[in-house]
């Protein structure tokens, strides 16, 4: 709920904090992807048309908010600081101009505390915006709509405990010389693997099924916190590393946001995998939701192979 903060800028600020049942990467993406933000930005009854969105220091987000009475409101955001997936700072105009800071705090693999703070030039301007435009209630509405938007991105979560130290499990998960021995469903062999383990880097791999079919995949890394967490965009690929559809299901999400958490547990490691459709259509989300049983079986077989491989280490 939007609140006032007890600090020197208290009288000039409007702020709100909300805990979302969603991974931090997904909440951050909701703020930085034009397709996402147009689905939730603004008080209830408003819609948003994005004309330009360049999320980087010095970049701009130019958009029009359409009020329920048909009035259009031009807006321009100038990004000052962008630290994925922790923080966004920007100046919002045209009038009144005010500064905004949004922070994203990870409370667990599937929970994020987000705080948004708007600071005006004076307490008088802050109070005028609150009274004339209902800014406090509008912020509450906006965060409610964000929670609803995040709720559309249903996630698949599966965990398995392994009798091996966390650093070993992390290494086995991130080095091709190990991945080639266990990665993928049972009966599928990895015959090609290249891994650039850094934010922005890509792992590109090829697998061969028992009947000789070749299937390619890729991970585009977003966050690497060794040995605790990996975050990447997962997709099917081709021999050249391009982005392709599921070879047997055209309606499957083109991309998945993947978070893998490695937690120490009783001398071993608890691995938790979370999959969420990324930038997906309603049909893709429905296909994903309907495939949870199949995913559970596929991941179960992969975990079995990892268990067997770790036993040999």
User: Would you say residue 2 has pLDDT above 90?
Assistant: no
Task: Look at the chain and count its residues.
Answer: 313
Task: Tell me what pLDDT residue 110 has.
Answer: 75
Label each residue of the chain as H, E or C: CEECCCCCCHHHEEEEEEEECCCHHHHHHHHHCHHHHCCCCCCCCCEEEEEEECCCCCCEEEEEEECCCCCEEEEEEEEEEEECCCEEEEEEECCCCEEEEEEEEEEECCEEEEEEEEECCCHHHHHHHHHHHCHHHHHHHHHHHHHHHHHCCCCEEEEEEECCCHHHHHHHHHCHHHHCCCCCCCCCEEEEEEECCCCCCEEEEEEECCCCCEEEEEEEEEEEECCCEEEEEEEEECCCCCCECECCECCCCCCEEEEEEEEEECCEEEEEEEEEECCCCHHHHHHHHHCHHHHHHHHHHHHHHHHHHHHCC
Q: Is the pLDDT higher at 3 or at 231?
A: 231
Q: Confidence band (pLDDT; 50, 70, 90) for 3?
A: very low
Cα separation, 110 vs 108, in Å, equals: 5
As a whole number of angstroms, the distance between CA 303 and CA 104 comes to 31
* pLDDT tens figures, 6-17: 455 789 999 999
CA angle 219, 221, 225 (to 5 degrees): 130
Pairing of strands 60-66, 98-108: unpaired
Question: pTM, whole model, 2 decimals?
Answer: 0.65
Each residue's pLDDT tens digit, 145-201: 998 888 776 789 899 999 999 999 999 999 999 999 999 988 899 999 999 999 999
pLDDT of residue 150: 85
pLDDT single digits (tens) 69-105 = 999 999 999 999 999 999 999 999 999 999 999 999 9
Kindly state the average pLDDT of the residues 32-45.
89
The model's confidence at residue 244, banded by pLDDT at 50, 70 and 90, is very high
**pLDDT at residue 127 above 70?**
yes
């Amino acid at each position: 709920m939007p609140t006032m903060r007890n600090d020197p800028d208290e009288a000039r600020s409007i702020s709100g904090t909300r805990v979302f049942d969603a991974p931090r990467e997904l909440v951050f993406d909701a703020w930085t992807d034009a397709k996402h933000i147009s689905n939730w930005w603004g008080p209830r009854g408003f819609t948003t048309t994005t004309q330009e969105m360049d999320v980087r220091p010095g970049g701009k987000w130019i958009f029009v908010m359409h009020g329920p009475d048909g009035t259009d409101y031009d807006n321009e955001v100038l990004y000052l600081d962008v630290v994925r997936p922790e923080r966004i700072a920007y100046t919002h105009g045209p009038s009144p101009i005010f500064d905004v800071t949004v922070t994203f705090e990870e409370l667990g693999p599937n929970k994020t505390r987000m705080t948004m703070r708007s600071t005006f030039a004076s307490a008088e301007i802050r109070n005028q915006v609150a009274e004339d435009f209902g800014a406090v209630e509008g912020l509450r509405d906006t965060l409610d709509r964000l929670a609803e938007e995040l709720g559309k991105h249903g996630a698949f979560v599966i965990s398995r405990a392994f009798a091996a130290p966390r650093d070993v499990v992390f290494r086995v998960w991130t080095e091709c010389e190990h991945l080639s021995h266990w990665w993928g469903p049972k009966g599928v062999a990895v015959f090609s693997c290249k891994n650039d383990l850094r934010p922005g880097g890509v792992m590109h791999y090829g697998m061969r099924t028992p009947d000789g079919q070749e299937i390619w995949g890729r991970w585009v890394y977003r966050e690497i916190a060794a040995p605790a967490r990996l975050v990447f965009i997962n997709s099917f690929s081709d021999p050249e590393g391009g982005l392709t559809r599921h070879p047997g299901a055209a309606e499957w999400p083109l991309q998945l946001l993947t978070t893998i958490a490695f937690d120490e547990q009783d001398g071993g490691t608890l691995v938790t995998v979370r999959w969420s459709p990324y930038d997906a259509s309603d049909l893709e989300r429905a296909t994903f939701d309907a495939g949870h049983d199949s995913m559970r079986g596929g991941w179960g077989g992969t975990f079995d192979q990892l268990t067997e491989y770790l036993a040999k280490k």
